[in-house]
Chain A
Amino acid sequence: MLSLERRAVDSRAMQWASPLLALVLTIITGLFMFMALGKDPIEGLTFFFLIPLSDAQGWAELGLKMAPLLLCAAGLTICYRAKIWNIGAEGHFLMGSLWASAAALYLSDQTGFWVLPLVLLAGIIAGALWALLAGVLKTQFHCNEILTTIMLNYIALNLLLFAVHGPLKDPYGFGFPQSEMFAAAALLPKLIPDTRLHIGLLFALLAAVAVGVLFARTFIGFQLKVLGQDERAAAFAGFPAKRLTLLAFILAGGLAGLAGASEVTGPLGQLVPQVSPGYGYTAIIVVFLGRMQAGGIILAAALLALTFMGGEMLQIAMNMPKAITGLFQGLLLFYLLTCDAFIHYRIRFRRAPAASAGEA
Chain B
Amino acid sequence: MDAVLITNVLAATVIAGTPLLLVALGELVCERSGVLNLGQEGMMLMGAVIGFMAAVTSGSLAIGVLAAVLGGIMMSMLFALMAVTLAANQYAAGLALTIFGVGLSSFVGSGYVGQAIDGFDKIAIPLLSDIPVLGQVLFTQDLLVYASLVIFVLVYCFLRYTRGGLILRAVGESPEAANANGLRVLQVRYLAVAFGGGMAGLAGAYLSLAYTPMWTENMTAGRGWIALALVVFATWKPERVLLGAYLFGAASILHLVLQGLGWQSSTELLAMMPYVVTILVLVLLSWNPTRTRLNTPLSIGQPYRPSK
A and B are interacting partners:
yes
Interface residues, chain A, with chain B CB atoms under 8 Å away: 4-6, 85, 87, 137, 141-144, 146-148, 150-152, 154-155, 158-159, 161-162, 165-166, 281, 284-285, 288, 321-331, 333-334, 337-338, 340-341, 344-345
Cβ of B99 and Cβ of A329 under 8 Å apart? yes
Cβ of A331 and Cβ of B100 under 8 Å apart? yes
Cβ of A321 and Cβ of B110 under 8 Å apart? yes
Residue of B nearest to A162 (CB): B268
0/1 interface trace, chain B 208-229, chain A, CB 8 Å (1 if under)? 0000000001000010011011
A285 and B279 alpha carbons, distance in the complex (Å): 25
The size class of the interface chain B forms with chain A is 35 or more
Residue of A nearest to B113 (CB): A321
Residue of B87, B106, B225, B269 near A341 (CB, 8 A) is: B87
Cβ of A284 and Cβ of B95 under 8 Å apart? yes
Residue of A6, A144, A146, A324 near B107 (CB, 8 A) is: A324
Q: A281 to chain B: closest CB distance in Å?
A: 6
Cβ of A327 and Cβ of B103 under 8 Å apart? yes
Q: What are the residues of chain B within 8 A of A85 when measuring CB–CB?
A: 91
Name 8 A/B residue pairs within 8 A (Cβ), A-sorted.
A146-B38, A147-B278, A151-B278, A165-B266, A323-B103, A326-B100, A330-B96, A330-B101
Cβ of B282 and Cβ of A5 under 8 Å apart? no
Residue of A4, A284, A323 near B110 (CB, 8 A) is: A323
A161 and B89 alpha carbons, distance in the complex (Å): 34
Cβ of B282 and Cβ of A162 under 8 Å apart? no
Residue of A148, A159, A284, A337 near B272 (CB, 8 A) is: A159
A150 and B95 alpha carbons, distance in the complex (Å): 12
Cβ of A345 and Cβ of B225 under 8 Å apart? no
Decide if B43 is an interface residue (CB 8 Å cutoff): no
Q: What are the residues of chain B within 8 A of A331 when measuring CB–CB?
A: 100
Decide if B93 is an interface residue (CB 8 Å cutoff): yes
0/1 interface trace, chain B 73-94, chain A, CB 8 Å (1 if under)? 0000010011001111101110
Residue of B nearest to A333 (CB): B96
A137 in contact with B222 given A142-B292, A155-B272 (CB within 8 Å): no
Closest 3 pairs (CB-CB, A-B): A326-B103, A330-B100, A323-B106
Q: B305 to chain A: closest CB distance in Å?
A: 7
Residue of B nearest to A326 (CB): B103
A214 and B282 alpha carbons, distance in the complex (Å): 33
0/1 interface trace, chain B 98-130, chain A, CB 8 Å (1 if under)? 011111111100100000000000000000000
Q: What are the residues of chain A within 8 A of B104 when measuring CB–CB?
A: 323, 326-327, 330
Cβ of A161 and Cβ of B305 under 8 Å apart? no
Q: What are the residues of chain A within 8 A of B97 when measuring CB–CB?
A: 330, 334
Q: What are the residues of chain A within 8 A of B278 when measuring CB–CB?
A: 147, 151
Cβ of A143 and Cβ of B99 under 8 Å apart? no
Cβ of B229 and Cβ of A147 under 8 Å apart? yes
Cβ of A141 and Cβ of B272 under 8 Å apart? no
A333 in contact with B100 given A85-B91, A158-B271 (CB within 8 Å): yes
Residue of B nearest to A141 (CB): B283
Q: B77 to chain A: closest CB distance in Å?
A: 12
Q: B103 to chain A: closest CB distance in Å?
A: 3
Residue of B nearest to A151 (CB): B275
A5 and B305 alpha carbons, distance in the complex (Å): 10
Residue of A150, A322, A328 near B222 (CB, 8 A) is: A150
Q: What are the residues of chain B within 8 A of A144 when measuring CB–CB?
A: 229, 232, 282, 286
Cβ of B100 and Cβ of A340 under 8 Å apart? no
Decide if B264 is an interface residue (CB 8 Å cutoff): no
Q: B129 to chain A: closest CB distance in Å?
A: 36
A141 in contact with B286 given A154-B275, A162-B266, A323-B217 (CB within 8 Å): yes
Decide if B132 is an interface residue (CB 8 Å cutoff): no
Q: What are the residues of chain A within 8 A of B282 when measuring CB–CB?
A: 137, 141, 143-144, 147-148
